[in-house]
Amino acid sequence: MRKTILITGSTDGIGLATARLLAAQGHQVLLHGRSESKLADAQKLVAEAQDGSQTECYLADLSNLEEVMNLAQTIREKHEVLDVLINNAGICRTSTPITPDGLDVRFVVNTLAPYLLTKQLIPLMNASGRIINLSSAAQSPVDNKALTGQTHLTDEFAAYAQSKLAITMWSRTLAESLGEAGPVVIAVNPGSMLGSKMVQEGFGVAGGDIGIGAEILTRAALSDEFADATGRYFDNDAGRFSSPHLDAQDPEKCRRVEQTVESMLAKFSL
Ligand SMILES: NC(=O)c1ccc[n+]([C@@H]2O[C@H](COP(=O)([O-])OP(=O)(O)OC[C@H]3O[C@@H](n4cnc5c(N)ncnc54)[C@H](OP(=O)(O)O)[C@@H]3O)[C@@H](O)[C@H]2O)c1
C-alpha cells in the first residue's frame, strides 16, 4: 500500500538517500529542507526514481520554531493522513551555534523541533503510523542548563551528543504516553560515520556508505519487524534493537527531559 511519508532534512545525506529508496517503492514522499535550491535539486533526484508528481516540497528552517509550526500547519492543510514521520534533519558543526533566542542550535534542530513537529502532526497519524527519530551512537547526559540556554557548551560534539540523547529520551516517553492507540515511536541510530556532509565536515573523513542509513530508515518506516517496537531503540551499528544510554532507560530522567522540552515549547500549546 502506498504510504505518505514526511522526511525532514531530505535535501542531503541519509535523508535524501532514504527519500529516493522510498520513492522508488512507490510511496508518496514529502521532502523537507531549509534551502529552496537544494529542495528543487532533491526533488529532481527523487523524480528519477519515481513520477515527480508524487513528491511535495516543504521549506522550513528547523532552527526557527515558528517555521516548524508553519511547516506542520501547511502539512495539516494538505494532508488528512500521514503514515510515517522520519525526524531525520540534524546538525552538528555550524558557524552559528546559538539561535537569536539564546538556545544551542543542536538542541533546537535535533531535539525541540522534532518534538514540536511530531506533536503537531500526531493528529494525522493512526495506530499503524510510525515516528522514526534519528538518534546516534553519540549520546551524553543532558545538561538541563545547556538545553534551556542558561549555559552554552563550547564543544559542538558535546552539544550534538546531548541533543541526540534528549531525542532518544523523549522518544520513549512519547511512546509510553501514546500507548497502543497511537503511532509507533522508535529511535534509530542509523549507523556511525556514514559519509554524509555532517560526517565529512565534522570529522574530515569520507565516511561509510550512506545507503546503510537509508536502508535501516526504510525498514523502520515500513517493515513488520518494527511494527511492535514502540519505545525501543534500534542500534544499526549492532544491527539490532539495543539499549540506549543508561539515562534513556531511566523513566524519571526521561520524564524530566520531556517536561523541560514541554515547558520550553509551552507557548506553542502542544
Ligand atoms: N552520518 C552519520 O554517520 C550519522 C550517524 C548517526 C546519526 N546521524 C543522524 O542522521 C541524520 C541525518 O544526518 P546526515 O548524516 O545525513 O547529515 P547531513 O547530510 O548533514 O543531512 C542533514 C540534513 O538536515 C538538514 N538540516 C540541518 N539543519 C537544518 C535546519 N536548521 N533546518 C532544516 N533542515 C536542516 C540538512 O539540510 P541542508 O541540506 O540544507 O544542510 C540536511 O538535509 C541526522 O539527524 C544525524 O544526526 C547520522
pLDDT per residue as tens digits for the range 103-144: 999 999 999 999 999 999 999 999 999 999 999 999 999 999
Give the distance (Å) from ligand 1 centre to CA of residue 10: 8
pLDDT at res. 50: 78
> Does residue 51 surpass a pLDDT of 80?
no
Rounded average pLDDT over 231-237: 98
How far is it, in rounded angstroms, from Cα 135 to Cα 32? 19
How far is it, in rounded angstroms, from Cα 142 to Cα 173? 15
pLDDT band at 269 (very low <50, low <70, confident <90, very high): confident
Mutate to test the pocket of ligand 1, among 41, 69, 196 (most ligand atoms within 8 A of CB): 196
pLDDT band at 53 (very low <50, low <70, confident <90, very high): low
CB atoms inside a 10 Å sphere around CB 32: 27
> Does residue 52 surpass a pLDDT of 70?
no
For the Cβ of 187 lying below 6 angstroms from any atom of ligand 1, the answer is no
Q: What is the torsional sign of CA 24, 45, 85, 219?
A: positive
> Does residue 158 surpass a pLDDT of 90?
yes
- Nearest-atom index, ligand 1, CA of 195: 1
| Helix, strand, coil tally for the chain in percent (to 5) | 50, 15, 35
pLDDT band at 193 (very low <50, low <70, confident <90, very high): very high
DSSP state of 109: I
Contacts with 151 (C-beta within 8 Å, 6 or more apart), sequence order: 143, 145
pLDDT at res. 49: 79
Catalytic residues: 160
pLDDT band at 54 (very low <50, low <70, confident <90, very high): confident
Rounded average pLDDT over 226-253: 98
3-class state of residue 39 by DSSP: helix
For the Cβ of 159 lying below 6 angstroms from any atom of ligand 1, the answer is no
- What is the distance, to the nearest Å, from the Cα of residue 198 to the centroid of all Cα atoms in its chain? 15
* Cα→Cα distances 1→15, 50, 83, 221, Å: 22, 16, 11, 13
- What is the distance, to the nearest Å, from the Cα of residue 175 to the centroid of all Cα atoms in its chain? 15
Angle between helices 13-24 and 36-49 (to 10 degrees): 30
- What is the distance, to the nearest Å, from the Cα of residue 188 to the centroid of all Cα atoms in its chain? 9
pLDDT at res. 177: 97
User: Mind listing the pLDDT tens digit for each residue in 61-99?
Assistant: 999 999 999 999 999 999 999 999 999 999 999 999 999
Cell representation of residue 67: 517555521
Per-residue burial over 90-109, b if 16 or more Cβ lie within 10 Å, else e, is bbbeeeebebeeebbbbbbb
User: Mind listing the pLDDT tens digit for each residue in 29-47?
Assistant: 999 999 999 999 999 999 9
For the Cβ of 134 lying below 6 angstroms from any atom of ligand 1, the answer is yes
Average pLDDT of the chain, as a whole number:
96
What percent of the chain stands above pLDDT 70? 99
Contacts with 88 (C-beta within 8 Å, 6 or more apart), sequence order: 7, 8, 9, 10, 14, 15, 18, 132, 134, 217
Give the distance (Å) from ligand 1 centre to CA of residue 88: 6
Give the distance (Å) from ligand 1 centre to CA of residue 33: 10
For the Cβ of 38 lying below 6 angstroms from any atom of ligand 1, the answer is yes
pLDDT at res. 43: 95
For the Cβ of 28 lying below 6 angstroms from any atom of ligand 1, the answer is no
